[in-house]
Amino acid sequence: MANRSCILIKLFGGSYMNGTVKWFNAEKGFGFIEREDGDDVFVHFSAITGDGFKSLEEGQQVQFDIVEGNRGPQAANVVKL
């Protein structure tokens, strides 16, 4: 069985959460989103939906799921608002 980088189990009842991009490094392909409750969640470029170059801008509003990754909670299915 292949080692998966992320176990796709939704947390927090499976509904989308809203947040603001705290910072995102486009060269490295990751950053953090500040959730509405104030906690930060890791985001990888592969979690961003849409076509083309996948990046986020500081201060940008997003909607996302939270899944349990190898190193703890991380954003998934990130949609730019």
Distance CA 60, CA 72 (A): 23
**Residue pLDDT, tens place only, 21-76:** 999 999 999 999 999 999 999 999 999 999 999 999 999 999 999 998 888 899 99
Question: Which residues, 6 or more positions from 8, have their beta carbon under 8 angstroms from its beta carbon?
Answer: 67, 76
Question: Which residues, 6 or more positions from 80, have their beta carbon under 8 angstroms from its beta carbon?
Answer: 48, 50, 56, 60, 61, 62
DSSP 60: -
Q: How confident is the model at residue 20 (pLDDT cuts 50, 70, 90)?
A: very high
Which domains does the chain show, CATH number per domain? 6-80 (2.40.50.140)
CB 57 within 8 A of CB 43: no
pTM: 0.81
